[in-house]
Amino acid sequence: MKGPEQGEIVSKKIMDLLPHRYPFLMVDRVLEVEPFKYLKAIKSVTINEPFFQGHFPSYPVMPGVLILEALAQAGGILVMKSIPEEMEGKLFLFTGIEKVRFKKSVFPGDQLMLEVFYEKHKLNLWKMSGKATVNGQLVAQGILSAAVADKGE
């Protein structure tokens, strides 16, 4: 059995980087990361996702806000890999979205390719652009902002 490729980050390591857990961990694998530049990750969407029970039982479609959450979590990993020493005892908190567009629906069985690109940061505020694709087709895009905060705040 073949393991992850060199440079990939898989579930256990992702859980070391993010505070999220089931059912809210939205990044399954990080394929590429270049600090202060970009991150590429995967979210595999299955019919077992708890949100499909109500969204919608006869037409299961992934909520757009959860696609954005997956991009935000990927962005959090990018920040963690960009400034690891400064992230000790800190959280990366989603603070805003701009210019969000949803282009296609995401269904069970789809694999979301998440890409986030560093735009800028000042002090503890970060801005990134992100896009999610399925089979090379754009499903969502937008600009994400977040803040690095103490876990105790």
Q: Is residue 97 part of a domain?
A: yes
User: Residue 37's domain spans which residues?
Assistant: 11-150
Taking the CB of residue 100, how many other CB atoms lie within 10 A of it?
Answer: 16
What is the distance of C-alpha 85 from the center of its chain? 21
Q: What is the CATH number of the domain that holds 121?
A: 3.10.129.10
Residue 88, in any domain of the structure: yes
Q: Looking at the domain assignment, is residue 3 inside a domain? A: no
* Domain-located, residue 16: yes
Give the chain's domain count: 1
Does the residue 24 lie in any domain? yes
- The whole-model pTM stands at 0.93
pLDDT one-digit tens code per residue, 118-130: 999 999 999 999 9
For 95-110, what is each residue's pLDDT tens digit? 999 999 999 999 999 9
Asked whether residue 5 is assigned to any structural domain, the reply reads no
- Residues 6 or more apart whose Cβ sits within 8 Å of residue 106: 45, 61, 62, 67, 112, 132, 134, 139
Catalytic residue status for 55:
yes
d(Cα 50, Cα 69) in Å, to the nearest integer?
15
Is residue 84 domain-resident?
A: yes
What are 50-106's pLDDT values in tens digits? 999 999 989 999 999 999 999 999 999 999 999 999 998 899 899 999 999 999 999
- List the structure tokens of 76: 């959090």
Q: Which member of 13, 20, 40, 55 is catalytic? A: 55
| DSSP-H helix ranges across the chain | 11-17, 64-82
Least confident stretch, 14-23, 32-41, 70-79, 101-110: 14-23
- Indicate whether 28 belongs to any domain: yes
CB atoms within 10 A of CB 24: 12
